[in-house]
Amino acid sequence: MEAVNSSSSISELDDISRLLDRPRLNIERKRSFDERSFSEMGIFEPVNSPGDRSRCETPASSSSRNSFEPHPMLAEAWDALRRSLVYFRGQPVGTIAAYDHASEEVLNYDQVFVRDFVPSALAFLMNGEPDIVKNFLLKTIQIQGREKKIDRFKLGEGAMPASFKILHDPIKKTDTVIADFGESAIGRVAPVDSGFWWIILLRAYTKSTGDTSLADTSECQKGMRLILSLCLSEGFDTFPTLLCADGCSMVDRRMGVYGYPIEIQALFFMALRSAMSMLKHDTEGKEFMERIVKRLHALSFHMRSYFWLDFQQLNDIYRYKTEEYSHTAVNKFNVIPDSIPEWVFDFMPLRGGYFIGNVSPARMDFRWFALGNCVAILGSLATPEQSAAIMDLIEERWEELVGEMPVKICHPAIESHEWRIVTGCDPKNTRWSYHNGGSWPVLLWLLTAACIKTGRPQIAKRAIDLTEARLLKDGWPEYYDGRSGRFIGKQARKFQTWSIAGYLVAKMLLEDPSHLGMISLEEDKQIKPVIKRSYSWTC
Ligand code: GLC
């Protein structure tokens, strides 16, 4: 599984000719990406070559080939990432969550988490090593096919695991897969995001390799349809958003993200669009495509209208009347203006905006969540104007949203009485720690991808510089604590794989922005633009 190793014996010319020989398959180049800003920043020209990428592994050999000196952290990161590989019958199938020998409690950090593997997978794809990603996609879809039960309750067929591990029996020489669908996870939380990440990753694999044969297999087609059946099924819903319990995604503890969390809605939207591009046009596939088109249409309208918050919108909500009945209601969810938290009035800049954390009857969770907003940009759930506004907000509120260690998972933290009620007195999620306003290095790759998509690579560069000042020295922590993310997290694991992979992906994206195509979707012109609520109440 070693990458093509560049050595000083391979001349730069050889690398270039290899590069030219290799057809670059299907990678879309971002139109909005501003190449000039890269040269202005002194970042060298993007090159799409596996040889170029392999410089990451052998930094010493690169000096003779390019004036650009790879950061010494890159080689360390690749070594650490490779140490986290997990094998099934000799084949790599994933990476463990953390390779932290110092930690007393392993809990489930020795498992391959679906969400955690995504940045690892992207790093391997960008490095020209797609096999591990293919193995992972096939292994997890096999796991989906098992019967899943929690106590006496049978889970939906399409449910994907949160994580799995491989048990090696050295005597019998057998490998066994043990999966967790939430039945062992702390709090028995349901990993709603796993299926969406799986679909998004299948598209990334297909885009990056140009190999459609994996997505076309009956296993992958069926796996996709099962995931889609779960999230497109009809129920009692009055909204197109997906109703979830607390702890259903990266924030996998009680944190008041139940209802319609932005993270899930953004992943749902992106997964639906990704599936559209991979479903076969056979009878079953077409039936799902029709349902997807309808859902996307309703979902984008709902999200762009009701989850979007900027200065104007905040002012409108502040002046809302309540108890309105019928279709003419302006305050459709009957949000009481007194429930708007004080902090948001100071936080909201004149320039900028974001998708808020949650919207449901009489409830708007005004917290900022980084993952949901970045994925909204990548999947084009956000319109180009909204995407630009999200980036404006990040710039305007840098201290709060990035601080000293990129990137804050959410802002602000909840504390005191609210913390007691909302988290159930969770000692791991005290204010400005872990999921409650902690800073997660893994989110760097998402921020970088969003920056590149919106043509703001300078922002990513600034965030990466912050990371490079500390991450390796601190031993690749899982998260940082404190209002500005200055302290290594109270219970943070070291050598957390997605912190390592997130850094690698961010670096590779900035170095070669054409990689963006595998995790970004262009705006869908079929989806009608939203008519601003302030002006039209009838649609
Ligand atoms: C924690 C995180 C979760 C992650 C897991 C493994 O539970 O909250 O998002 O997947 O650790 O790293």
Which of 324-332's residues contact partners 24+ apart within 8 Å by CB, and which partners? 327/537, 327/538, 328/537, 328/538, 329/537, 330/533, 330/537, 332/306
Q: How far is the CA of 400 from the centre of ligand 1 (A)?
A: 23
User: What's the Cα-to-Cα distance from 497 to each of 69, 101, 113, 478, 504, rounded to whole Å?
Assistant: 24, 13, 10, 8, 11
Cis check: omega of the bond before 59, within 30 degrees of 0: no
| Helix, strand, coil percentages, rounded to 5, for the chain | 45, 10, 45
CA 206 – ligand 1 centroid, Å? 26
- Nearest atom of ligand 1 to the alpha carbon of 111: 6
Q: Whose CA is nearest to atom 6 of ligand 1?
A: 97
Residue 57 has pLDDT above 60, yes or no: no
Round to whole Å and give the CA distance between 368 and 411. 5
Q: Which residues line ligand 1 (CB under 6 A)?
A: 97, 113, 115-116, 250, 252
Beta bridge partners of 390: none
Q: Which residues, 6 or more positions from 53, have their beta carbon under 8 angstroms from its beta carbon?
A: 3, 126, 127, 128, 508, 512
Beta strands in 217-361 (DSSP E): 308-310, 353-360
Which residues have CB under 8 Å from 440's CB, separation 6+?
370, 407, 408, 409, 478, 479, 480, 499
By residue count, the chain amounts to 539
528 has a pLDDT exceeding 90 = no
Report the atom number in ligand 1 closest to the C-alpha of 186. 7
Question: Each residue of 147-161: pLDDT tens digit?
Answer: 999 999 999 999 999
Q: Taking every pair of C-alpha atoms in the chain, what is the biggest distance, in angstroms?
A: 76
Is the pTM above the cut of 0.75? Answer: yes
The whole-angstrom separation of Cα 297 and Cα 412 is 31
Task: Read off the DSSP letter of residue 96.
Answer: -
Q: Which pLDDT band, with edges at 50, 70 and 90, does 379 fall under?
A: very high
Counting from 1 in the atom list of ligand 1, the atom nearest the Cα of 498 is 12
Q: How far is the CA of 447 from the centre of ligand 1 (A)?
A: 19
Q: Tell me how far apart the alpha carbons of residues 197 and 193 are, in angstroms, rounded to a whole number.
A: 6
Residue 98 alpha carbon, nearest atom of ligand 1: 12
Report how far ligand 1's centroid is from the alpha carbon of 286 (Å): 35
> In this model, does residue 42 exceed pLDDT 60?
no
Report how far ligand 1's centroid is from the alpha carbon of 432 (Å): 17
Q: What are phi and psi of 229, to 5 degrees?
A: -60, -40
Query: Which protein residue's CA is at the shortest distance from atom 2 of ligand 1?
Result: 250
Contact 61, 54 (CB under 8 A): no
Nearest Cα to 376, choosing from 263, 489, 498, 218? 263
Residue 456: which residues within 8 A CB-CB, separation 6 or more?
37, 391
Q: Please, what sign has the CA dihedral across residues 56, 60, 63, 67?
A: positive
Residue 496 one-letter amino acid:
Q
Tokens 């209208």, located at residue: 305
Q: Whose CA is nearest to atom 12 of ligand 1?
A: 97
Q: Which residues of 43-73 are buried (b: 16+ CB within 10 A; e: fewer)?
A: beebbebbbbbbbbbbbebbeebeeeebbeb
Give the Å distance between the CA of 496 and the centre of ligand 1: 10
As a whole-number percent, the residues of the chain with pLDDT over 70 amount to 84
Closest CA relative to residue 81, chosen from 445, 469, 335, 435: 445
* Residue 182, token pair as written in the block: 């939430």
What whole-number distance in Å separates Cα of residue 115 and Cα of residue 122? 12
Q: What confidence score (pLDDT) does residue 532 get?
A: 52
Mean pLDDT for 346-360 is 98
Q: Which atom of ligand 1 is nearest to the CA of 108?
A: 6
- C-alpha 197: how far from chain center: 8
Q: Evaluate if residue 58 carries a pLDDT over 60.
A: no
For 280-301, write each residue's pLDDT tens digit. Answer: 999 999 999 999 999 999 999 9
Residue from 86, 100, 246, 250 to probe ligand 1 pocket by mutation (most atoms less than 8 Å from CB)? 250
The 3-state DSSP class for residue 357 equals strand
Which atom of ligand 1 is nearest the CA belonging to 253? 8
Measured by CA distance, the residue closest to atom 4 of ligand 1 is 250
pLDDT, tens digit, 9 for 90 and up, residues 417-468: 999 999 999 999 999 999 999 999 999 999 999 999 999 999 999 999 999 9
User: Over pLDDT 90: what percentage of the chain?
Assistant: 79
Each residue's pLDDT tens digit, 70-122? 899 999 999 999 999 999 999 999 999 999 766 667 778 899 999 999 999 99
Average pLDDT for the chain: 87
Task: Give the per-residue pLDDT at 62.
Answer: 36
CA distance linking residue 56 with residue 368, whole number of Å: 34
Q: From ligand 1's centre to the CA of 489, what distance in Å?
A: 14
Of 12-16, 35-39, 56-60, 133-137, the range with the highest mean pLDDT is 133-137
Q: Write the pLDDT tens digit of every residue in 327-343.
A: 999 999 999 999 999 99
User: pLDDT tens across 9-34, in order?
Assistant: 333 333 333 333 333 333 333 334 43
Whole-number Å distance, alpha carbon 139 to ligand 1 midpoint, is 20
